[in-house]
Structure 1
């Protein structure tokens, strides 16, 4: 497995817990959707994986990764080209091959004309594309992507999904956090559904349909049904793993 995690609890302290009972894995070439509404605990789950939470009880094991945040992060007074050069100093490798990847990716996302500009002058979509370029240049074993479609136009979304598919063919795994369930249903192999900081259910679409009692339901319908039942039963019944 590229990623294996058991989060018994996590938060900003013993008295400020946000997550409880979340565990899942991501295998080679697999795209796993971390699904839930805004405020469900998706971003906190990712922060826990990255070691950014103050209080964590559990285990996280993962290979080399690239993290693409929901809100682009960049260094002030460094151009896009300088960000790329800095990345290369942390990676090493054959410089000519790296430069060829740079040329192809920057052209692919149509940012050649701003390569030597400061990203704080970019639109949100252009900043997000820069984050994607840096991640794909790294070629990690695992991509952790938080709300990847925010700020991207339909063409950029299609390009992103195409590149992720190629990376999966290479053997990379993907953990993608999103609340856009129709897109997630179409592209993900498996799902981790969370609400109110708790895992409701984990599995592929058929697992989730079976657990929700909706054999032909959409991911949205299943999530809605599981959440409603969870509210009645305190979510306790949904911690048990799905049996095949």
Structure 2
């Protein structure tokens, strides 16, 4: 088992945003985290990566909690945020080096992986550029490259397609598929439901800090009583039911 979330309740104050979330993400599984703005997707992610501390419940990655073994926990996951976070004074090359040092990676193997990713995302000739030289989409590619240098057990990707051109989206999805085949788990928050339906194995539908439904697309169809539905149809039915 890769990620286990049990009875997660939490948020930014004593009033919880998340209410008793329970889900697992096994290895070799891509899970789509789906919900309106404000549903609790980013708050869930912040608890998993350790920015927020649960008020109740536990989060385990390969049986380890952040509190019990923070180094092992953190080294087991990699994160691509919705908004790129880069150091203005560091070049792309130095961002790669920083990632290698932070995760204590084998330098040669990490640069080999980085080289493949840099070519794939067409950044290999920009190693000495600073973040100010990159467009938002290119900055997002830098975040993606740095995350996937890491041979993580869990990749968490928050709205990964924001600012990416169609070619970069295709490349990212191919990288996700490769990491899944390697054995990794992926939690992907996205509003691009057609892509989520095509590439995710399972889905978690969040509404007002609660899990409204979860499972494969077939299981969601059964839960909502919509035999011929796609993910868009199920999503809109969930929203309509909440609004009543």
In structure 2, C-alpha distance between the alignment counterparts of 1:97 and 1:190, rounded to whole Å? 32
1:1-244 residue pairs with structure 2 within 5 A? 1-14=1-14, 16-53=15-52, 56-63=55-62, 64-232=76-244
Contact in 2 for aligned 1:74/1:119 (Cα 8 Å): yes
Deviation at residue 57 of structure 1 after TM alignment: 1.1
Deviation at residue 181 of structure 1 after TM alignment: 1.1
Judged with a 3 Å threshold, the aligned counterparts in structure 2 of structure 1 residues 203 and 38 are, in CA distance, closer, same or farther, namely same
Judged with a 3 Å threshold, the aligned counterparts in structure 2 of structure 1 residues 61 and 55 are, in CA distance, closer, same or farther, namely closer
Contact in 1 for aligned 2:204/2:215 (Cα 8 Å): yes
Deviation at residue 164 of structure 1 after TM alignment: 0.8
Gaps of 5+ in 1: 233-244
Q: What is the TM-score with the length of structure 2 in the denominator?
A: 0.90
Q: What is the TM-score with the length of structure 1 in the denominator?
A: 0.90
In structure 1, C-alpha distance between the alignment counterparts of 2:109 and 2:51, rounded to whole Å? 33
Judged with a 3 Å threshold, the aligned counterparts in structure 2 of structure 1 residues 211 and 93 are, in CA distance, closer, same or farther, namely closer
Deviation at residue 83 of structure 1 after TM alignment: 1.0
